[in-house]
Amino acid sequence: MTSFTVFGTGNMANAIGGVVAKGGSDVQYIAHAESGSAQITGDVVVLAVPYAALAPIAAAYGEQLKGKTVVDITNPLDFSTFDALVVPAGSSAAAELQALLPESHVLKAFNTNFAATLVAGTVGAATTTVLVAGDDADAKAALIAAVEAGGLAGVDAGSLRRAHELEALGFLQLTLAAGEKIGWNAGFALAS
């Protein structure tokens, strides 16, 4: 069984921790990452924090994160315009995080899931699907197994390069919700 550490205290932190705990994984929560002094116990570390917090966490916890799977869930929106991402065109927050943590296995996941759909387990009538992109096959398989044990569907969405597309999808979904085209308990479902 995979052990998790979840950084963060928001809806997404609680929802993701809840899914994998339901699947039988041990979950450690680190609420106050800014101290830089927490001891990480999980093999998979979910950074359920805003984009701006990624670099400071990488700086403070880089040594502890070596060899671990690190999951980036962020949607790096430019909230001043809601019309673009703040990462360079063609890149992704996950690629930036991988560059900061070259000895960690960075995955992109959960950024296309609204918290309510993780808690409910459904998007409309469909089972909620967690799309997972990354370059380490074992890390992806372990995360997918953990979310499936928690009652969701998990799909390998390809290499970490696909984080660009996952962040585009997350951004699009946020604009649709902000524009009241969809609810915050809805969004994109994946039919197989």
Question: Residues in the site for a copy of itself, rule: CB under 8 A?
Answer: 83-84, 88-91, 123-126, 155-159, 161-162, 164-166, 168-169, 171-172, 175-176, 179, 181-183, 186-192
Whichever of 65 and 166 has its CB closer to a copy of itself, that residue is 166
- Least Å distance, CB 132 to a copy of itself, is 11
Which three-class secondary structure state does DSSP give residue 124?
coil
Whichever of 31 and 86 has its CB closer to a copy of itself, that residue is 86
Residue from 126, 139, 146 nearest 188 by CA: 126
Tokens of 28: 């450690």
Whichever of 149 and 172 has its CB closer to a copy of itself, that residue is 172
- Least Å distance, CB 68 to a copy of itself, is 26
Residues 6+ apart with CB under 8 A from 82: 174, 175, 178
Whichever of 35 and 80 has its CB closer to a copy of itself, that residue is 80
- Least Å distance, CB 31 to a copy of itself, is 32
Tokens of 81: 């315009």
Distances (CA, A) of 175 to 45, 164, 178: 28, 17, 5
Contact 71, 98 (CB under 8 A): no
Whichever of 126 and 149 has its CB closer to a copy of itself, that residue is 126
In the chain, how long is the greatest CA-to-CA distance? 43
- Least Å distance, CB 191 to a copy of itself, is 3
Which residues share a beta bridge with 7?
30, 47
- Least Å distance, CB 178 to a copy of itself, is 10
Sheet with 44-47, strands from edge to edge, namely: 26-30, 3-7, 44-47, 69-72, 105-108, 129-134, 153-156
